[in-house]
Amino acid sequence: MARENYGDLVAFLAVARAKSFTRAAAQLGVSQSALSHAMRQLEARLDVRLLTRSTRSVAPTEAGERLLASITPRFEEIDAEVAAIRELRGKLTGTLRITTADYAFHTVLWPALQRLLPLQPDLKVETIIDHGLTDIVAQRFDLGIRYGDQVAKDMIAVRIGPDIRMTVVGSPAYLGKRPRPKTPQDLTEFPCINLHLASYGGLYAWQLEKGKREVQVRVDGQLNFNGILQVVDAAVAGFGLAFIPEDLAEPHVRAGNLEYLLRDWSPIWPGLHAYYPSRRQSSPALRLVVDALRYPR
C-alpha cells in the first residue's frame, strides 16, 4: 500500500474502535461522507470487506479484526515516538487517562498530581474512579492503579505504596455502652457498613486474619457504599462498624472519632501498584507520572 494511503488506516482504526461512523468522524474532524468514502476506497484497494455495517452499528469483519490487531500496536508505537520527540522541546503535552479506586486516588494519586501538574502545565490527566477490575487495554486507559494481587500478570507493575493493614473500627458514640466484639463472629450481632465491590460481584465479605487463621464474615447493616471514603464517613458519623485501611482510620482514632476493634484480627493487604501494558509503548507523560507515584518516594 502506498504511504499516502496510511491515512485510510488511521480512519479505519477510528471507525473500528468507535463502532460508529458518526463518532469516528467527530473524533477525526471530518465529515461522515468523507469517512465512508475513505473506507470504501480502502476495502476496494485491499479487495476485502473490513467492516460490517448495519443501521445501528459498525463492526469489523474477520479480516477487519485481523487488520485491527496487526496495525494497532504499530500506530501506538508511532504515537509514543511522536510524544517522545515532543519531550525534547522541554515540555509534555497530551492527555493521560487513569483508572483507579477512590482509596488510591485519595491517598496516592491526588497528592502526586498536586506536586506534578503545576510543573507540567501542558499535561492533562483524566481520572476515572472505578472499583472493578478494568481492562485498561480494551477501555483505552494509559494507566491503572489497583492492589498488587489484582494486577494481571501480563502488565508492567510498579509499586506505589506500602502494604496495607485493614482494621475494624467503630465510633465511641456508636459503641456507647455496647460490649465490644471479642471474636470475628461477634460482628454479625452489630450493624455494620458494607462495601459493594464489582470485582467481588457484590458486597465484600470481611476477611479477617490472626496468624495463619483466616475468617470470612458477612455482616449486615443499613448502609452499603461502593467507595471506601464514604464508609469511613459513615463510621465516624456513628452508623455502624466498618472495615477500612488503617491509614484512613488512624487520624480519626487520634482525634477520638473512631476506636480500633479486634486489633489482633487485622490482615495485611498487598500495597497499591500502578500498571500499564508495555514499556515499549509507554509515553513520556506516562513515565513521568509513574516516576512521581513510585514507592518509596
- Where in the chain are the domains? 3-76, 91-160+273-293, 164-269
Residue 191, CA atoms < 13 Å, CB-side half-sphere:
14
**Beta strands 123-129; 206-210: pairing state:** unpaired
In contact, 273 and 148? CB cutoff 8 Å: yes
Q: What are phi and psi of 70, to 5 degrees?
A: -75, -45
CATH 3.40.190.10 fits 91-160+273-293, yes or no: yes
Residue 34, C-beta contacts closer than 8 angstroms, at least 6 positions apart:
25
Catalogue the E-assigned strands of 15-170: 51-53, 58-60, 94-100, 123-129, 143-147, 156-159, 164-170
| Residue 85 clears pLDDT 80, i.e. is over it | no
pTM over 0.75: no
Mean pLDDT computed over 42-66: 88
**pLDDT at residue number 279:** 63
What's the burial of 55, exposed, middle or buried (CB within 10 Å: 0-12/13-18/19+)? Answer: exposed
- For 3-76, CATH number out of 2.40.30.10, 3.40.50.970, 1.20.58.1000, 1.10.10.10 equals 1.10.10.10
In order of 11, 107, 150, the CA distances from 104 in angstroms are: 36, 5, 13
d(CA 278, CA 282) in angstroms, rounded, equals 6
Number of helices (H) and strands (E) in the chain: give both, helices first: 10, 16
Identical fold between 91-160+273-293 and 164-269: yes
190-248 pLDDT, tens digit each: 999 999 886 656 788 999 999 989 999 999 999 999 999 999 999 999 999 999 999 99
Side chain identity at residue 232, one-letter code: V
**pLDDT at residue number 80:** 77
Q: What are phi and psi of 55, to 5 degrees?
A: -70, -20
CATH class, range 164-269: alpha beta
